[in-house]
Amino acid sequence: MNQGVAEELVLIDINELRSEGEAMDLNHGLPFAPTAMKVWRNVRRLPTSRFSQLV
């Protein structure tokens, strides 16, 4: 987040409550990030684009 290398971050976990908690924690830090970013958790349909990477 602090390096500004991504515009969106998607957290996926079998334990949906865990990914929700992690996303909330990351969202609390977004005001201090150098660039605007969106944090998603366990979405039904992943946002896709030609530049997306799944790691």
Expressed as residue numbers, the domain containing 18 is 8-41
The answer to whether 7 touches 37, Cβ cutoff 8 Å, is yes
- Give the tens place of pLDDT for each residue, 4-54: 677 888 887 888 888 888 888 988 888 888 888 888 777 666 556 666 666
Domain count, the chain: 1
CA distance 15 to 17: 6
CA distance 16 to 33: 25
Q: How much is the pLDDT for 35?
A: 80
